A and B are shown apart, each in its own frame.
Chain A
Amino acid sequence: MGSQGRTRRGAVVTDPERRETLARTPSPVAWLLVAIAASFLGLFLVLPLVAVFAQALAKGLGPALAAIADDETLSAIRLTLMTVAIAVPLNVGFGLAASWAIAKFEFCGKSFLVSLIDLPFSVSPVVAGLVFVLLFGARGLLGPALADQGLQVVFAVPGIVLATTFVTFPLVARELIPLMQAQGNEEEEAAITLGASGWQTFRRVTLPKIRWGLLYGVILCAARAMGEFGAVSVVSGHVRGETNTMPLHVEILYDGYDFVGAFAVASLLALTALATLGAKSWIEARGPRRSVA
């Protein structure tokens, strides 16, 4: 996903007049390619999405709403939102610090540091969960010491938050680093020269310039944090009403033959995903991301 942000940013908008319009130039090859692309996207993107909502409403709206209003679903929603509310600010704080250090300064080992930040992207979610079990499990490296202090990490809420934070770790930083690098340092340097403090410079000069990228990073990070499954599944004890996040609850309902319930909760998550995509398009339509280069 990082590279997606990176490559997309340098794009120059092609002159729309020079694009072929199917209606105007109905070349058979163009039609064929559009048909292939549309079928591929229809089959792999639209159909699964439609299936989620159709299955949720298979027995009408009532049972779907009842499944969502269920106590255990509500507590899963609460836990998921709480996880997001902790993981996202942590990663935003880190993303801002990392992008400031990396984009504004030159130092040895910078490209290595950037690779390290990307690392969690390439770690399987299951492995991400496993490392926290090895670290904080009752027989892990730090687990026994923490248990003596009465602190339980894995199979409790802190483990879910940690695993989620790990998995979503690079998202904000990856959005901000290329953005801040492209923007250069001149304006910040001018502000400092004019006597502004570091904080003032950051708040008044840098933040307004990166706000759309930051917002996009936050949205992406929140969406991924809500939906994380593999890592959370390994560190959660699957206690209904306690350590059960929304995606895990979908699995429990699905395995318990409650398909309407599973797809009803899934459709809540799908709606969130659609809102994320909508927000992304809206941010992009406002232009700043593309005009940066």
Chain B
Amino acid sequence: MSQAVSIEEAPLADAERMPAAVGPGRARARRRLLPGFRMTLGITLLYLGFMVLLPLSALALKASTMSGNVFWGTAASARALASYRLSFGASFAAAAVNAVFGLIVAWVLVRYRFPGKRLFDALIDLPFALPTAVAGIALTFLYSPRGWIGAILAKAGIEIAFTPVGVMVALTFIGLPFVVRTVQPVLEDLDREVEEAAACLGATGLQTFRRVIFPTVLPAVATGFALAFARALGEYGSVVFISGNMPMRTEIAPLLIVTRLEQYDYAGATAIAVVLLVSSFALLLLINGLQAWGARAERAEARS
């Protein structure tokens, strides 16, 4: 025991010499008690630098060698604009579908008991685990005019595969877990007593939902929506099979990058990649903001 005391004193004494020993500074001093900070941070930065920052800077470097005219000539060409419209539009539509149905699915999974519930709950993560190419060929089969669903729809004159709607179907699949998984824990934490109080005060089910439940889950729905949207924007594997890949009509932006590469047009591929990457960064910032909002809402609820 006495040995232990002496060991404890050494780092503390060391920490005491650090400036601002009050408040956060104290916490910092205390935390430095544990070893390995330099090593683990060093490994983290080195690996991050080599695996992520170096490759991404290659893209920036390539883009910086292009003149503004060349860059915008490709990045804002009619065909590229059409591909952004499709990518953003279909991603938005898919994320919206997922926001609505994801909220219902999360609600059902949290609030009700029914046969097969645990199986459904486990299956929600399938789009995370299933390779996108597998999803792509399965959806193409289902929705093509000879597939199980496509054949029925074809009789009604509705086409899904090889149209922008097909792109949306694939993007709905891959974005499905996001809203469910962000809303589920919020609903689990939701205080039933508030709802019950609202009901006692004479609120109808719909009113309770609109005034009490919806405002609470809204940040989570928005976060899930943004995550699904961001994922859909860059998606490639599940879409290329079902989209038909027609320039100006069903060609998504990631596919246009691949197309440019196959025409030996590296500058063109880079320009579109930069647009896509900048959009993803903006979304990442938005998602961080939404999550902060969600955390604030949660704290506010906890206080009340």
Asked if A and B are interacting partners, one says: yes
As a 0/1 sequence over residues 182 to 198 of chain A, the CB contacts with chain B under 8 angstroms (1 = contact) are 00010011001111011
A97 near B284: Cβ-Cβ < 8 Å? no
Please tell me which stretch of A38-46, A64-72, A144-152 contacts chain B, meaning at least 4 of its Cβ atoms lie within 8 angstroms of it: A38-46
Q: Is the CB of A115 within 8 A of B284?
A: yes
Which B residues from 210 to 252 make CB contacts under 8 A with A?
A: 220, 223, 227, 230-231, 233-237, 241
Q: What residues of A have a CB within 8 angstroms of the CB of B44 in the complex?
A: 94, 97-98, 101-102, 113
Is A74 close to B, CB under 8 A? Answer: no
Q: State how many angstroms separate the Cβ of A165 from the closest Cβ of chain B.
A: 6
Residue pair A122, B131 in contact (C-beta under 8 Å)? no
**A135 / chain B contacts, CB cutoff of 8 Å:** 54-55, 58
Give the residues from 1 to 30 in chain A that come closer than 8 angstroms, CB to CB, to chain B.
1, 3-4, 7-8, 10-14, 16, 18-23, 29-30
Q: Are B280's CB and A7's CB within 8 A? A: no
Query: In this assembly, does B4 line the interface, its C-beta being within 8 Å of a C-beta of chain A?
Result: yes
* Residues in B whose Cβ lies below 8 Å from that of A185: 31, 33-34
Contact A105 B37 (CB under 8 A): yes
Asked if B192 is at the interface (CB within 8 A of a chain A CB), the reply is: yes
Q: B28 on the interface (CB 8 Å rule)?
A: yes
Q: A119-B52, A273-B130, A278-B122 are in contact. Are A130 and B135 (CB under 8 A)?
A: no
Known: A130-B270, A135-B58, A229-B133. A51 touches B181 (CB 8 A): no
Which residues of chain B have C-beta atoms less than 8 A from A38's C-beta?
116, 120
- Which residues of A are found within 8 Å of B61, using beta-carbon distances? 134, 141
Q: Which residues of chain B (109-141) have a CB below 8 Å from chain A?
A: 109-114, 116, 118, 120-135, 137-139, 141
Residue A127 lies at the interface, judged by CB distance under 8 Å to chain B: yes
Expressed in whole angstroms, the Cα–Cα distance for A263 and B270 within the complex equals 34
- B16 interface residue per 8 A CB criterion: no
Q: Is B80 an interface residue (CB 8 A)?
A: no
Q: Does chain A have a CB within 8 A of B35?
A: yes
Residues of chain A in range 86-123 having any CB-CB distance to chain B below 8 Å: 90, 93-94, 96-98, 100-102, 104-107, 113, 115-123
Residue from B34, B41, B269 having most chain A Cβ neighbours under 10 A: B34
Binary contact track B56-89/A, C-beta < 8 Å → 1, others 0: 1011011000000000000000000000000000
Q: List the B side residues contacting A234 at CB < 8 Å.
A: 258, 261
**Chain A interface main SS type:** helix
* Complexed CA–CA distance, A194 and B55 (Å): 44
A45 / chain B contacts, CB cutoff of 8 Å: 123-124, 126-127, 173, 176
**Known contacts A51-B142, A135-B55; is A229 also within 8 Å of B132 by CB?**
yes
Is B47 in contact with A7, judged by CB distance below 8 angstroms? Answer: no
The CA-CA distance from A125 to B254 in the complex, in Å, is 8
B residues less than 8 Å from A8 (CB atoms): 181, 184-185
Q: In the docked arrangement, what's the CA distance between A234 and B254, Å?
A: 11
CB distance from B300 to the nearest CB of A (A): 15
Indicate if the CB atoms of A41 and B123 lie closer than 8 Å: yes
CB of A169 within 8 Å of the partner chain: yes
| Chain A residues within an 8 Å CB radius of B114 | 22, 34
Chain B residues with CB under 8 A of A13: 188
Query: Considering only CB atoms and an 8 Å cut-off, how many residues of chain A contact the other chain?
Result: 116
- Cβ of B185: which chain A residues have Cβ within 8 Å of it? 7-8, 10-11
Q: B27: which A residues are within 8 A, CB to CB?
A: 106
Please indicate which of the listed interface residues A18, A40, A121, A228 has the most CB atoms of chain B within 10 Å of its own CB. Answer: A40
* Interface size of B as a range: 35 or more
Q: Which of B137, B176, B192, B273 neighbours the largest number of chain A CB atoms within 10 Å of its CB?
A: B137
Q: Given A7-B181, A165-B51, are A104 and B131 also a contact pair (CB < 8 Å)?
A: no
Contact B236 A269 (CB under 8 A): no
Known: A44-B173, A122-B230. A273 touches B129 (CB 8 A): yes
Nearest to B274 among chain A residues (CB) is: A127
Q: For the complex, what is the distance from the CA of A98 to the CA of B42, rounded to whole Å?
A: 9
B105 at the interface (CB under 8 A from A): yes
30 pairs, A vs B, C-beta closer than 8 Å:
A3-B227, A18-B192, A19-B110, A36-B104, A37-B104, A38-B116, A52-B134, A100-B36, A105-B32, A106-B31, A107-B37, A116-B52, A122-B280, A124-B234, A124-B236, A124-B253, A126-B236, A127-B59, A127-B276, A130-B269, A135-B55, A189-B33, A193-B33, A195-B3, A197-B35, A227-B129, A229-B131, A250-B133, A266-B131, A277-B129
Contact surface of B with A, Cβ cutoff 8 Å: 3-4, 7-8, 24, 27-28, 30-37, 39-41, 43-45, 47-48, 51-56, 58-59, 61-62, 101, 104-105, 107-114, 116, 118, 120-135, 137-139, 141-142, 147-149, 172-173, 176-178, 181-182, 184-186, 188-189, 192, 205, 220, 223, 227, 230-231, 233-237, 241, 253-255, 257-258, 261, 266, 269-270, 273, 276-277, 280-281, 283-284, 287-288, 291, 294
A positions within 8 Å CB-CB of B: 1, 3-4, 7-8, 10-14, 16, 18-23, 29-30, 33-34, 36-38, 40-41, 43-49, 51-52, 55, 90, 93-94, 96-98, 100-102, 104-107, 113, 115-128, 130-135, 140-141, 162, 165-166, 169, 185, 188-189, 192-195, 197-198, 201-202, 220, 223-224, 226-230, 233-234, 246-248, 250-251, 254, 262-263, 266, 269-270, 272-274, 276-278, 280-281
A-B interface, 4 closest residue pairs, ranked by CB to CB distance from nearest? A227-B131, A124-B234, A230-B236, A229-B237
